[in-house]
Amino acid sequence: MAKSSRPRSTASSASRESRLPRLPAQVKVAVDAARNKKATAMTLLDLRKTGAFTDYFLMCTGGNPRQVQAIADAVEQALKSQKVRPTHVEGYGRAEWVLLDYFDFIVHVFSPQARQFYGLERLWGNAVRHELPDEDAADRSETA
């Protein structure tokens, strides 16, 4: 019985690690802030080995313009409380695609339509991609 449970545990740990990589503290703060505002389809692209201009893209989706702005506000406030401010913010007024540039990482908050249209995941296909669970899924995995 111990042998049959061990492979399952190892496979579970391996899949969890590929889905939830060890993140820099500021990226983790951004993930948590977006998750607290019910961001969905959270994806982290690790761009460190691609020669890109930043280390990470954190991408998430808000269901409507108000939620897109709320997610962006939450990320900005959470990082501001740690004395970290974005070097550039773009798209906040339209709330279709809000970009928060923190130099080492960029947070992209999309409407569902903008995310599908621009397809950043496809454009950065050579990056290591991590799907991050939504808040509900993260809560379930912590209690399991």
Give residue-wise pLDDT tens across range 30-73. 999 999 999 999 999 999 999 899 999 999 999 999 999 999 99
* Number of other CB atoms surrounding residue 106 within 10 Å: 24
CA distance 42 to 131: 6
Give pLDDT tens digits for 85-116.
Answer: 999 999 999 999 999 999 999 999 999 999 99
Distant-in-sequence, close-in-space partners of 81: CB < 8 Å, separation ≥ 6? none
Domain 20-143: homologous superfamily in CATH: Beta Polymerase, domain 2 (3.30.460.10)
Q: What is the pLDDT of residue 20?
A: 57
Per-residue confidence (pLDDT) for residue 137, from 0 to 100: 53
Per-residue pLDDT band for 143 (boundaries 50, 70, 90) equals very low
More confident residue, 66 or 123: 66
Give domain limits for the chain.
20-143
* Per-residue pLDDT at 14: 35
Task: Give the chain's largest Cα–Cα span.
Answer: 58
Give burial (CB, 10 Å; 0-12/13-18/19+) of 116.
exposed
pLDDT score at 89: 98
Q: Has residue 28 got a pLDDT over 90?
A: yes
